[in-house]
Amino acid sequence: MEMQQFHYDNKIVKNFLYATMLWGVVGMLVGLLLAFMFLFPNLTDGISWLSFGRLRPLHTNAVIFAFVGNAIFAGVYYSAQRLLKARMFSDVLSKINFWGWQLIIVSAALTLPLGITTSKEYAELEWPIDIAIALVWVVFGWNLIGTILKRRQRHLYVAIWFYIATFVTVAVLHIFNSLELPVSALKSYSVYAGVQDALVQWWYGHNAVAFFLTTPFLGLMYYFVPKAANRPVYSYRLSIVHFWSLIFIYIWAGPHHLLYTALPEWAQNLGTTFSIMLLMPSWGGMINGLLTLRGAWDKVRTDPVLKFMVVAITGYGMATFEGPTLSLKNVNAIAHFTDWIIAHVHVGALAWNGFLTFGMIYYLVPRLFKTKLYSLGLANLHFWIGTLGIIMYALPMYVAGFTQASMWKQFNPDGTLTYGNFLETVTEIIPMYWMRAIGGTLFITGMLIMIYNVIVTIKQGSKVENELAEAPALERVTKKRTASEGWHTWLERRPIQLTILATVAILIGGIVQIVPTIMVKSNIPTIASVQPYTPLELEGRDIYIREGCVGCHSQMIRPFRSEVERYGEYSKAGEYVYDHPFLWGSKRTGPDLHRVGSKYSDNWHFNHMYDPQSTSSGSIMPRYPWLIKNELDKSQTEAKMKTMVSLGVPYSDEDIAKAQESMAAQGEQIEQNLYSDPDFAKTYEADKKYAAENGEPFVEMKNREITALIAYLQRLGTDIKVEATAQN
Amino acid sequence: MSVIYILLAISIVVAVCFFFAFVMAVKKGQYDDSYTPSVRMLFEDELVKEKSDKSILTKKD
């Protein structure tokens, strides 16, 4: 047997590790800032790019794609090389993967605070960045598959299977959910509308959890836990069984995010069924991970790496038990839209992803730098502070979730809502938000301790960028085997051709399926009275999207007595046919807005946007003073309408030609309505006079952003009300 | 709702691909031995020698 010497690429692993730690701190700091904004809503008063709605997607994207994403790459690049006994396929591809991914993160960090967003959760980035993500992801897959093809170990260890599934599925999900028609370089509309968009979004959203936060981390678990414990995995057979069943079942579970919504019931039930089935493969992984430590629990007492991993796997077990439970319709009726979901995702994110990443970092850094960890004591401190942080975060959020749901659904004996004012249900849980902020502070403190520990360890270590290794060459397959094999075997030896063909295959499938989606009329039950938004409302809707209102407000009234009583008639699928993208939301930090149209006066909205606490005492909504001042950009309205026409919204040529006229007229009307408030009239006239006297430019109220937003809010959910009066 | 047929189609295609990969893996003998791989991955193959000589550490696969 010929022995071959080669070098593992450690440099790329180190780079990804540094990026993991850097973006981890950034993402969590943004999260912490958001947690404190629940307590001090005007913490970043008046700074549009630091407002809650714009920072929330930055937090989620940073922790998912920057922190966890880089951790995945670090772990995969380290373990894949060693499991396959080969250097990565191409150093150039590795570098493109690394720098491309960082560039995407930086562009996300710039665009999201500027309000450049599609508003679809975890897919907020606009279309040019979406394309960049697809390309970099293909580079990653190409590099991984290339390495697999030149491996020196014929058997593919189970972790590798998890990595392959991650690559394939994330590519498919990302492409299909990101189909959007551009209006300009930084603005696009989802090709899907309403119910369709919601379904595709959560098909993606749930599988982002499945194939970005779960399968790659299970792969990492199957490498790093046995390595750290120096024990073989409890049952290799179980790992195989649970891998194949997990990936089979996961992809169907998405609709459980849309229970009791306007999504057809059979689709909801399909999602629920598969979600419950998911418990088995999920717990298969959890049990396999924990039992790997059988007979090695004494090591857990002393080794911080194993401590972190044990808590990570336990967190995974808890989150994957909770997931199927939450997918039961009766449980979901309570938990959906509440802080329970925030607790659920943070058990997954902080424990499973966070702690497994920390364990991996503590395992890798001493090995990559050929030294010992600087301080075991500090690592243990990190472990305890972090664990306490998770508990302090999750428990109050569970309590908050239950409290919200109970208060929202509480009726008086006479049939009225006990807590008719939504604000009562908000102020009640402020103490929980305090505890959550403290828990988050603890968690991030632990992370900073780790970074200090790592820096000192690196300083005392030595640099080995290319690690020498030795393994026997892969034996040629015997004649007997190749005799019966055809063209595909040839293909498998040629990674570049394989990748190109695979990409073509994906593209063909994509095109075949996209074109009908755009061309074929949707078969959602249409409602005759539902009309497209007027140009001004469309612009207002884009402001709603830009400001991330969807982060705290839903537009989906479920058919429960408590919700119909509080918000109005429950939401129908046919009401959303012109909603590109859908804005149903997933969290009610504030009340639902689907029937907010004509509920309040224009003045109320104006004052509420300027200072929410003035109209609603105790509100934790931040102020939006820039909306009051900014001039509305009407230069793209026609282009936006034309894009909407391509997506099937029936604007006539005349509608588009008269867009500016229509906006001026509707704006004029709102300005007039605003004059009914003497305070407004006084201040506004004074401003106008001041501007005229000083020769400053003055934007009339009808041309300001607030007017468009008011137009949109006053329209919400009113189409059905028209129908009701027409019938009477 | 028509999009669900597309999603179902994609999901089935992905599932079929995985099923095909599974069958191929079994046929190729990936799972003939379900014990050795779990132990094999524990062995380190890094060569712990000539650390000081930097000239050897050139990229050569």
Partners of residue A91 in chain B, C-beta under 8 Å: 59
Q: Tell me, what's the pLDDT at A254?
A: 86
CA nearest A170 in B: which residue?
B14
* Cα→Cα distances A257→A197, A323, A499, A587, Å: 13, 11, 34, 11
Nearest to A659 by CA among A524, A491, A535: A535
* Cα→Cα distances A657→A641, A645, A652, Å: 10, 13, 9
Using the Cα atoms of residue A509, residue A515, residue A520 and residue A523 in order, give the sign of their dihedral.
positive
Q: Tell me, what's the pLDDT at B55?
A: 42
Q: Tell me, what's the pLDDT at A296?
A: 87
Query: B34, A236: Cβ pair inside 8 Å?
Result: yes
Q: What's the burial of A479, exposed, middle or buried (CB within 10 Å: 0-12/13-18/19+)?
A: exposed
Q: Tell me, what's the pLDDT at A475?
A: 65
Q: Taking CB atoms and an 8 Å cut-off, how many pairs form between chains A and B?
A: 124
Q: Tell me, what's the pLDDT at A13?
A: 96
Partners of residue A573 in chain B, C-beta under 8 Å: 1
Which letter, b or e, does each residue of A208-225 get, where b requires 16 or more Cβ atoms within 10 Å of its Cβ?
Answer: bbbbbbbbbbbbbbbbbb
Q: Tell me, what's the pLDDT at A462?
A: 83
Query: A200, B7: Cβ pair inside 8 Å?
Result: yes
d(CA A168, CA A166): 6
Nearest to A527 by CA among A595, A575, A579: A575
CA distance A5 to chain B (A): 7
pLDDT of B52 higher than 50: no
Partners of residue B18 in chain A, C-beta under 8 Å: 165, 244, 247-248
> Which parts of chain A sit beneath pLDDT 70?
1, 475-525, 721-728
Query: B1, A523: Cβ pair inside 8 Å?
Result: yes
> Does residue A415 contact residue A483 with C-beta atoms inside 8 Å?
no
Q: Tell me, what's the pLDDT at A648?
A: 86
Q: Tell me, what's the pLDDT at A517?
A: 47
* Cα→Cα distances A727→A486, A529, A532, A721, Å: 69, 11, 21, 10
DSSP string, A224-285: HHHHHHTS--S-HHHHHHHHHHHHHHHTT-GGGGGTTSSS-HHHHHHHHHHHHHTHHHHHHH
For residue B19, name the pLDDT band (cuts at 50, 70, 90): confident
DSSP string, A207-241: HHIIIIIIHHHHHHHHHHHHHHHTS--S-HHHHHH
Q: Tell me, what's the pLDDT at A153?
A: 86
For residue B54, name the pLDDT band (cuts at 50, 70, 90): very low
Query: A248, B4: Cβ pair inside 8 Å?
Result: no
Token pair for A255: 């609709």
pLDDT of B50 higher than 60: no
What's the ipTM? 0.71
CA distance B40 to chain A (A): 8
Cis upstream peptide for A581 (omega within 30°): yes
Candidates A82, A164, A202, A468, partner chain B, best to mutate (most B CBs within 10 A): A468
pLDDT digits (tens, 9 = 90+) for A396-450: 999 999 999 999 999 999 999 999 999 999 999 999 999 999 999 999 999 999 9
Query: B45, A469: Cβ pair inside 8 Å?
Result: yes
Q: Rounded to the nearest 5°, which phi and psi values hold at A714?
A: -70, -15
Query: B30, A155: Cβ pair inside 8 Å?
Result: yes
Query: B39, A91: Cβ pair inside 8 Å?
Result: no
Q: Tell me, what's the pLDDT at A601?
A: 94
pLDDT of B58 higher than 70: no
* Cα→Cα distances A438→A53, A587, A594, Å: 22, 22, 34
d(CA A114, CA A120): 16
Query: A6, B30: Cβ pair inside 8 Å?
Result: no
> Does residue A651 contact residue A644 with C-beta atoms inside 8 Å?
yes
Q: Tell me, what's the pLDDT at A12?
A: 95
